[in-house]
Amino acid sequence: MSLWRIAWGYLWNRKLTTSLTVLSVALSVGLIYSVLTLREETRKRFKEEGQFFDVVVGAKGSPLQLTLSALYFMDVPTGNIKLSDYEAIKKHEDVAAAYPICMGDTYHGYRMVGTIPELFDYTWTRASTGEERKPFKLAQGSVFKKSMEAVLGSAVARTEGLKLGDTFIGAHGYIELPPGMAVEDHSKFPYTVAGIMAPSGTPNDRAIFCTMDSVWEVHGQHEEAESQQEGERQKEASSMVTAVLVSLESPALSFEFVEYVNDTFNAMATRPIEQIAKLYDSILATAKSVLLAVGYLVVAISAISILIGLYLSIIQRKRDLAIMRALGASAYEIVGSVLIEAFLVTALGIVAGWLIGNLVAWTVGLYLQYRYGLTIGIFGMLTTEEIAAFSTVGLVGFVAGIVPAWQAYRTDVARDLAEP
């Protein structure tokens, strides 16, 4: 009969109270853990996406908007740049590979991206480890060979139920309209599914790739139906691209290359990794701080509930403590058993909170995957921040046990035994 067994016996004897206290600790830990996990996992995923290309070139405007629209398909593009600018960039001695992308249409909210077939051969190598990844890997079919053929991201094929050989029609613009609302579609230009990509856990899963000709052709037809002035503008658009994704011979050249593009062309170059870091340091860091503050507030409330739960339990069993003293238990053994109770409640709360946190992260991850193509890893190794958070909760639980333990230490054995 160790003190642990005695402490556990008392916790088990009041299962409901113990469960509720554990639950309150678990909820606070779960909140903190899910905030930290989601923040860390999204940061990792965004950072990884940002690393696939060293530089993104697009129309002048917001560098963050350019990064989000060209790599994450999340925002409206900043505009277009000349096709000739892309060709010049591609020929630059520092450029290992450059891929043009054209955007303008969507299919049920999925971004349609005109590009060149070579993009599907692109392999990204992590400089530090030499690890290789193919973010545009095909799972079925082939790359588009001609105009109006499309390669679907894995999530598009799955959610829309599209298979190889199926046809679909895109709609003009970037905004996902509610069902039933009229959209300007291109019904005379159906796309045929030529290939389906392997799941990559990136925004590519939620994109549709086709030739640049397809995008131009659809909008060229559009021109016929509109005024002469509008037609001229569309014709001009056919010689433009929305952005260029650039991989350099070395990431270290990116600073110099960005300067070169900004000075030479009527365009803007940016380092995506830098934009993502800024985004995290500004908006998301604030959001994380607010959520963490809420989490720690819940921890404080849980600590009070541990304190109240244990204190009431000590009051209720003063006679039991007196009996143990009469049996020869020292005051320190009594204090030890109460502190062990506090520790067990907190430890169980932390474990349950860790499970709840992973469950929340997994659920939110499903939404992020559906909405943005981001995958969230769960049950991963604990980060330093998470270990620090768990330690804080453990310490708070221990401190909450001190007051009831002190109360137990001050047991007046003869008086408590005499009480009915």
Partner 1 sequence: MVKMENCRRRLGPGVEFFCEQFEAPAGAQMALWGPSGCGKTTMLNLISGLLRPDEGLISVDGVETPKLSEGQLDRFRGERFGFIFQTFNLLAPFSALQNVMLGMRFSDTAPSSEWKPRATALLQRVGLERRLHSKPATMSVGERQRVAIARALANKQKIVVADEPTGSLDPKNAAAVMDLLLEMCREEKVTLLLVTHAHELAECLETCFDCSALIREVSS
Separation of alpha carbons 325 and 329, rounded Å? 5
Question: What is the separation of C-alpha 10 from the centre of its chain, rounded to a whole number of angstroms?
Answer: 42
6 near partner 1 (CB under 8 A): yes
How near is the Cβ of 342 to partner 1 at its closest, in Å?
Answer: 17
Question: Residue 133: what residue type?
Answer: R
Q: Which is nearer to partner 1, 88 or 417 (CB)?
A: 417
Which tokens belong to 416? 């408590």
16 binds partner 1, rule: CB under 8 A? no
Binding region for partner 1 (CB under 8 A) out of 88-96, 226-234, 398-406, 412-420: 412-420
Bridge partners, residue 240, by sequence: 82
Among 13, 123, 125, 239, binds partner 1 (CB under 8 A): 13
| Least CB distance to partner 1 at residue 312 (A) | 16
Q: Which is nearer to partner 1, 9 or 173 (CB)?
A: 9
> Looking up tokens 């190598």, which residue turns up?
125
Query: What is the three-state SS of 41-62?
Result: HHHHHHHHHHHHCCEEEECCCC
Instruction: List Cβ neighbours of 127 (8 Å cut-off, separation of 6 or more).
Output: 251
What distances in angstroms separate CA 185 from CA 4, 106, 144, 207, 233, one per listed residue?
70, 9, 22, 18, 19
Question: Binding to partner 1 by residue 109, rule CB under 8 A?
Answer: no
SS3 269: strand
Task: Tell me whether residue 165 or residue 420 sits nearer to partner 1 (CB atom).
Answer: 420
Q: With contacts defined by CB under 8 A, name the span among 54-62, 130-138, 223-231, 411-419 that binds partner 1.
A: 411-419
**Rounded to the nearest whole angstrom, what is the least distance from the CB of residue 314 to partner 1 in the complex?**
14
Whether 367 and 375 have beta carbons less than 8 Å apart is answered as no
Question: Mapping DSSP to helix (H, G, I), strand (E, B) and coil, where does residue 257 land?
Answer: helix
66: tokens are 């350019």
Does 9 engage in binding with partner 1 (CB under 8 A)?
Answer: yes
Exactly one of 10, 107, 110, 191 binds partner 1 (CB under 8 A); which one? 10
Residue closer to partner 1 by CB (options 178, 328) is 328
| Least distance to partner 1, CB of residue 328, Å | 2
Give the torsion sign (CA, 357, 358, 363, 364).
Answer: positive
> How far apart are alpha carbons 399 and 45 in whole angstroms?
38
Our CB check for partner 1 shows the closer of 326 and 388 to be 326
Nearer to partner 1, 181 or 327 (CB): 327
361-368 own/partner pairs: CB under 8 Å, 24+ apart: 361/33, 361/34, 361/37, 361/38, 361/41, 364/34, 364/38, 365/38, 365/41, 368/42
Between 177 and 326, whose beta carbon lies closer to partner 1?
A: 326
Run of H or E residues at 124: strand 124-125
26: nearest Cα among 399, 396, 338, 298:
298
Considering the complex, what minimum distance in angstroms separates the CB of residue 2 from partner 1? 8
| CA 218 from centre of chain | 34
Q: How far is the CB of 349 from partner 1 (least distance, A)?
A: 21
C-beta of 339: minimal distance to partner 1 in Å?
17
Q: Which stretch binds partner 1 (CB under 8 A): 4-12, 137-145, 197-205, 246-254?
A: 4-12
Stretch that binds partner 1, among 9-17, 74-82, 144-152, 372-380 (CB under 8 A): 9-17
Which parts of 311-370 interact with partner 1 (CB under 8 A)? 319-320, 323-333
Site size for partner 1 (CB under 8 A): 24
User: For partner 1, which is the closer residue by CB, 43 or 319?
Assistant: 319
Give the range of 150-158, 229-237, 337-345, 409-417 binding partner 1 by CB under 8 A.
409-417
Q: How far is the CB of 415 from partner 1 (least distance, A)?
A: 9
Q: What is the Cα–Cα distance from 98 to 245, expressed in whole angstroms? A: 6
Does residue 409 belong to the site contacting partner 1 (CB under 8 A)?
no
Binding mask 148-167 for partner 1 (x = CB under 8 A): --------------------
- The rounded distance, in Å, linking the Cα atoms of 418 and 400 is 29
Residue ranges in contact with partner 1 by CB under 8 A: 1, 6, 9-10, 12-13, 319-320, 323-333, 413-414, 417-418, 420
